[in-house]
Amino acid sequence: MVVTYYDYKTFLRDRIAEAKPKRGFMAKLAKFAGCQRSYLSQVLSSHIQLTPDQAFALARFFGFNRGESEYFRLLVDLERCSTLELRAEIKSRLEQIRSQQMKITERINTPKTTGENHITYYSSWIWSAIHYITSIPEMQTSEKIAERLHLPPSTVAACLEQLVEMKFVIYEGGRYKHSGEPP
């Protein structure tokens, strides 16, 4: 959950380390952010920062809800700003969002002993929407799902790929089908 982080680079490093499959994940992130893989690597290992546009794109990639998206973008803004006054204002807003998101998380009755798949699945409405829509035969292609849910095709494709890895969705004959597995 992004709101548990105080540094967007640590969050990204953790997501990259946890990625399955690891191979190509960094390139996928860079492509979604609209930058080269080498640039993203520099961001993660030096003083170079993401741009606001790149932060916005990555928030969409991860399927963040509105609060999480704002939080992630503010983490980037925090690293980019240079005045103490602005830093204090951003930190205050980050705390507000963190508090609000944690209250929402407490209200959601999710099992406490879930695995990594469940953490990802419950991180945004997008995962369950895409998962359940694959049970409708007319909606079993990434294009149809993107159109129906009004989501970017690249977001849907990335989620479907992950849902297949989680074994919640089966890719068969060019179609994504609900596996019958509960989240």
At residue 182, the pLDDT reads 63
At residue 93, the pLDDT reads 95
Specify the CATH number of the domain 116-178: 1.10.10
For residues 154 and 160, give the distance between their C-alpha atoms in angstroms, rounded to a whole number: 10
At residue 183, the pLDDT reads 63
Block means of pLDDT (10 residues each) for the chain, 183 residues, are: 92 90 90 96 96 95 91 97 96 93 61 57 87 92 93 91 89 89 63
At residue 111, the pLDDT reads 40
At residue 106, the pLDDT reads 54
For residues 5 and 179, give the distance between their C-alpha atoms in angstroms, rounded to a whole number: 33
- Distances from the Cα of 95 to the Cα of 72, 88, 102, 123, angstroms: 12, 11, 10, 19
Domain spans in the chain, listed from the N-terminal domain onward: 2-107, 116-178
**Helix or strand or coil: residue 176?**
strand
The burial class, CB within 10 Å (0-12 / 13-18 / 19+), for 164 is: middle
